[in-house]
Structure 1
Amino acid sequence: MPNRLATRFERSFDADVRTKFFRHLEFREPVGDPGWFGPGSAVWYVHSHTPALVLGLVAAAYIEGLDPSISWMGYDHSRLVARDAAGVPTGAIDPEGGAVRLGHSVSFFIGTAYGTTETAERLARTVRAMHHTVKGVRPDGVRYDADEPEWLRWNYATVVWGLATAHERYHSAPLPDIDEYYAEFVRVGEALGGTGLPRTKKEVADCLESYLPKLAVTPIKAFGTGPNLRGNGVPPWQPGSAFLDWAARDMLPGWAQKLALYQRPNPVSLRWKRRVLKSAVNGIYTPLREFREAQARTASGTAAPVATTAPAVPDPARTREEVEAAL
């Protein structure tokens, strides 16, 4: 019997994500191309569960924004912030901009996971080019630069933590050894210019906690979380909703939950909310067409993946407008 929820999810994914953000991604050929990881990899397994992947990205974005510089990068440069006709931030969240950001993130983490090698490399070049344009000064005079090694390490650790944590908590059959995923995913961080990246669950946890002296809940962050989201009209399954905000904060490490003033529900309510979310995440799951295409591409065997994903030469200088035109 067909899974009607999964079919509806696939149709929604096609309308909201695939047709808008997958236009330049290739999963079918060349035959035998393993991409960056190949069939049987932990990354293929984790990223093929799209609903859990999206939930992990929501959690990653939450913890990432606890860095004040990240908050101001988003305020100054991101589509997440609504702007007036002159391009000046209004302080409000732009739901359409948030959907665009999530769509690009989903396409990146699916394309680099089991897209072709050329697809993964092009996606990484595009993200690096965008990072090169994100530079500025916070109101307190502190400069920020998305190319700084410390920022790249923080960004990497938040992403791999979010994806792995959502997988462990909400996948119906999580990997027995999650460190396999942590070790493989380093290739994505290195492709974006990261160095000295943590490679295990413990190393990532220690890395995140080591940044605690630099973290804070800025007014920008506080505006988009907790009680401020109640009654905002966003459906529970969409980013920016009070329910997904709860889910993200519920996955945070204990020290981060204290920073975010997370109030854990009573044990009965907590178990119920987690059970409902897990049921929903797995109820709408079905392997995407792109994953099935990647399986067919590699069914007859593959060559060895590229030896390294780290950039071999400096990227050419490109403006933000030039980068966005290539998306």
Structure 2
Amino acid sequence: MPHKRTVFDRAVDKSFQGIRDEFFRNVQFTEPKGDPGWFGPGSAVWYIHEHLPTVQIAMGAAAMMETLHPDMAWMAYEHTRAIERINGVPTGQFDEKAMSSRSGHTLSFFFGVAMASTPVAERVSKTVRGMHNRIEGVRPDGHPYKASDPDLLTWNYCTQAWALAASHQAFHPDPLSDDRLEEFFHDYARMGRELGGANVPTTKDGVDKYLADSLPFLAVTMPTVELLNPTAPWRYPAWQRPLMTLVDWAIQDLHPEWAQKLMNTKQYPRPVAAARRRAVKALLGSFRGGKMKEVYESYERVGVPYPRN
């Protein structure tokens, strides 16, 4: 029997429909019946991914963190379609349509790997590996880079795993216990390995240590500055700017202290910062029941009733 969706579910679906129509066409969650995928119902990975608002905050936080690696920053600047180009030369401005495309493909990958069937998870991972194999270049300082570099892929994985866990802990209305969070890091490491990462950490401490140990190799390069602002309030209509100002700060506030220093994140007095965090959690928590239909389709595929909170 199909799961009954709440009014919040329908609101999420409506806001998500454009992305679904364009970017989820080849990523389906209903077949084959009985296939739990890489992680399955009841897993910490499924639970974290079920709450779309915290996943979206995590995606923003991870994208910002990734650009602190000079290889990632220059690679993105020179190869991503999200940057406007004139005669092949980046202008430093975002191509809004291409930016939406990148976000849509990223979200379909995240959910395809996390909650779709095994064949779908394997296919989308193979597609991403193929894309990585075609991307390489040389930074202006003469340092070569390759998207398929195992160490760089581990960096990318760690930023993503860290961001998903940090956003979940900070803003989910009913976050996992520390033990269940460790389960997430242990299981989700499969994604990093499948993409080609080397020595992928399998614990929270391991991921945190990997990121912190990378600090000597990190820097704020010009592409970092250009790429840090997709959620900058000035990019939105005036009536959305108060909300986006809060969201943009919340994304950066998740970052470790060393990353905030590199990014020059605005600091507020502790009581003000605490109040802002509570406001963001209340906002995102209002979508407690707001899940994409793909979440319900995944449970139905496996034949497991959706757990009620």
- For the criterion TM > 0.5, the same-fold answer is yes
Match of 1:130 in 2: 131
Q: Report the aligned-residue RMSD.
A: 2.1
How far residue 219 of structure 1 moved from its aligned partner, in angstroms, is 1.7
Q: How does 1:33-48 map to 2 (within 5 A)?
A: 33-48=35-50
Q: What's the secondary structure of 1:144's corresponding residue?
A: strand
How far apart, in 2, do the equivalents of 1:284 and 1:137 lie?
Answer: 44
1:72 paired to 2:101: no
Contact 1:25 1:111 in 2 (8 A): yes
How far apart, in 1, do the equivalents of 2:120 and 2:6 lie?
Answer: 30
How far residue 150 of structure 1 moved from its aligned partner, in angstroms, is 1.3
Match of 1:180 in 2: 183
Q: How does 1:1-327 map to 2 (within 5 A)?
A: 6-15=9-18, 17-84=19-86, 86-176=87-177, 177=179, 178-225=181-228, 229-233=232-236, 235=240, 242-285=245-288, 286-299=290-303
How far residue 6 of structure 1 moved from its aligned partner, in angstroms, is 4.9
How far residue 7 of structure 1 moved from its aligned partner, in angstroms, is 3.1
Contact 1:80 1:97 in 2 (8 A): yes
Aligned length: 295
Contact 2:77 2:83 in 1 (8 A): yes
Change (3 A) 1:90 1:55: same
Contact 2:41 2:304 in 1 (8 A): no
Q: What's the secondary structure of 1:231's corresponding residue?
A: helix
Matched residues, percent identical?
A: 39
Q: What's the secondary structure of 2:148's corresponding residue?
A: coil
Contact 1:21 1:104 in 2 (8 A): yes
Q: Which 5+ residue runs of structure 2 have no aligned equivalent?
A: none
Q: Which amino acid aligns with 1:123?
A: V
Contact 2:9 2:291 in 1 (8 A): no
How far apart, in 1, do the equivalents of 2:28 and 2:10 lie?
Answer: 22
How far apart, in 1, do the equivalents of 2:48 and 2:291 lie?
Answer: 11
Segment drifting more, 104-113 vs 254-263: 254-263
Q: What's the secondary structure of 2:33's corresponding residue?
A: coil
Q: TM-score scaled to structure 1, two decimals? A: 0.85
Q: What's the secondary structure of 2:145's corresponding residue?
A: strand
Q: Which amino acid aligns with 1:288?
A: M
How far apart, in 1, do the equivalents of 2:286 and 2:10 lie?
Answer: 10
Q: Which 5+ residue runs of structure 1 have no aligned equivalent?
A: 302-327
How far residue 98 of structure 1 moved from its aligned partner, in angstroms, is 1.9
Change (3 A) 1:217 1:270: same
Post-superposition Cα deviations, 1:139-169, rounded to whole Å, max 9, x if no partner, equal: 1111111111210111111110111110111
How far apart, in 2, do the equivalents of 1:236 and 1:118 lie?
Answer: 41
Match of 1:315 in 2: none
Q: What's the secondary structure of 1:195's corresponding residue?
A: coil
How far apart, in 2, do the equivalents of 1:38 and 1:103 lie?
Answer: 23
